[in-house]
Amino acid sequence: MSSSPPKVAIVGGGPAGCTLARLLIRASIPVTVFEGEASINVRPQGGTLALKSDSGIKALQEAGVYEEFTKHASYDGEFLMVTDKKLKPYLKLKSKPPQDKHSIHGKPVIDRGQLRQLLVESLPPDAIRWGCRLRHIDPNDLSLHFDHGVERGFDLVVGADGAWSKVRPLLTDVKPDYVGLGGFDLLVAKPEERYPELHKLVNRGTVFAFSDGKAIFGQQKGDGSIIVSAYGARDQGWKDTCGYPIDNGAEVKKAIEKDVAGWAEPLVDLVHAAGEEDIIPRSIYTLPVGHRWEHHPGTTLIGDAAHLMTPYAGKGTDAALVDAMNLAHTIIKNSKEEDTLDALDAGVKEFEQDMFVRAAVVQEHSNTNMDLMFFTPGAPFTTIHKWVRNAFGRGWLVKVFLPLWFVRLVLRLCFWF
C-alpha cells in the first residue's frame, strides 16, 4: 500500500520528455530527466514544425509555456507549395495569419530547437541530468544502468529517448525498419540578404518538390535561414556505397547537384547556396504502423520511442506532446489514489492502449504520403489528388465522402487563393 507520489524517471530530454517533466513538476510529482547528450547545443535540432490547437498547443498550454511559445512562433509560416522537378506547382497554399497572435486557431510554426529550448528552460536547473547515456534497464528492479553508474528507486520509467530507444528493448524486440529513403539536410544562411530569389521562393514557409523517387524540400526557419533537404530512394547501406565521403560538404553538394541534374534551376540553387558545414546525412526509419507491446509494470514509452514515424505528415512532435500530456494526466490522477502504484500501473496500461490507436492513425497518414510522393510512378502528377485528400482529410468520413473531383476543384482554388 502506498499513498505517496510515485517517483518518475524520464529517459530523454526532447520535447516529449521535457513536456512530461514540466507537467509533473507543476503537480508536485518527483521527476528526474536523464539526457544522453552533454547539452542542448550538441547538435542541430532540425527545421520547423507546426502544432495543432487541439493537441500540441493544448499540451503547451497545460504545461504553462504557451505564452513563451507565442514569443517564438510564427503565424505566417504556413505557406506551402508542392511542385514537380520543373517547379510546376500542383498545390499552393498561402498563409493567412490571425489578427491576434495569441489566437490558437490554425497551426503556428516554430523551430524545433526553439521549442526544445523553451521547454528545457521551463524546468528547474537540476531537473535534467545531462550526459547520462543509458546502456540498459534491469527488468527485475528497473534499475537504470548508465555509462556513469546505476540509478535506482523509481516507480515509473518513461522512455522518451527517440528512435533508437534504450528503454524500448525492455518492452518489445521490434526495431525500426529502414523505409528505403536517405539523403542530406543542408542550410542556406541569410537567404534574404544573400539569395533574395530563394527567400522569395520559400516565402517563409515550405516548398516540396518531388519527381522520379527524389525530392528537394526548402523550409524557412525563424531566423530566416532555409533548411534544404535532398532525399531519394536508396539502399540501406548507401552511406558506405555512394562513392563519395558523406562528411565532405563540397563532395556531398556536388553529388546532390549531379543527382538532380535537369531539375528547375531554383531548386538546384537551393543546394548550391547551402553551406558546406553542418551537412547532415540521414536515413529514414520507422516502427511498424500500430506498433504495440505487452504492458510491463513500471515502464512505458512515448514519442518516437513508442511510435517512430516518417516525417511526411509533419505530426510526429505533435503526437509526442499529446503522449506527454495524456501520460501526465494518468500519473497525476493515480498519484492521489490510496493504492498509488497499483492504480498507476492500471492507468499506464490504459494510457498505452489509447496511444496505440491514436498513433497508428498518424503513422498511416505519414506512410501514405511517403508512398504517394516517392514510390508511385508519375508523382506528383499521378498522386497529388490522393495526397491532398490524405494530408488534409480529418478522419475516415472525409476519406470516404470527399470525392477526387472535389479535391481537384479545391486544388484549383488553393492555387489562386
Predicted local confidence at residue 96, as pLDDT:
62
Say which residues have a Cβ less than 8 Å from residue 62's Cβ, sequence separation at least 6: 23, 325, 328
CA angle, residues 160, 112, 182, in degrees to nearest 5: 80
CB 146 within 8 A of CB 133: yes
| Residue bearing cell 542530406 | 184
Report DSSP state, residue 400.
H
Predicted local confidence at residue 409, as pLDDT:
52
Q: Measure the CA–CA gap between 337 and 200, rounded to whole angstroms.
A: 57
Q: Measure the CA–CA gap between 272 and 197, rounded to whole angstroms.
A: 13
Burial class, 115, CB count within 10 angstroms (exposed 0-12 / middle 13-18 / buried 19+): buried
Helix axes 384-392, 340-374, angle to 10 degrees: 160
pLDDT digits (tens, 9 = 90+) for 166-196: 999 999 999 999 999 999 999 999 999 999 9
Predicted local confidence at residue 394, as pLDDT:
47
Identify the segments of the chain with pLDDT beneath 50: 1, 99, 104-105, 394-403, 406, 414-417
Cell numbers linked to 40: 542542448
Burial class, 61, CB count within 10 angstroms (exposed 0-12 / middle 13-18 / buried 19+): middle
| Domains defined for the chain, CATH in brackets | 8-73+108-175+288-367 (3.50.50.60), 177-285 (3.30.9.30)
Burial class, 192, CB count within 10 angstroms (exposed 0-12 / middle 13-18 / buried 19+): middle
Strand locations in 56-176 (E): 80-83, 89-93, 109-111, 128-129, 134-137, 144-146, 150-151, 156-159
Residues in the chain: 417
Predicted local confidence at residue 3, as pLDDT:
65
Q: Measure the CA–CA gap between 321 and 105, rounded to whole angstroms.
A: 18
Of 52, 65, 47, the C-alpha closest to 113 is: 47
Predicted local confidence at residue 78, as pLDDT:
72
Predicted local confidence at residue 417, as pLDDT:
40
Predicted local confidence at residue 93, as pLDDT:
86
Of 207, 208, 206, 215, the C-alpha closest to 181 is: 215
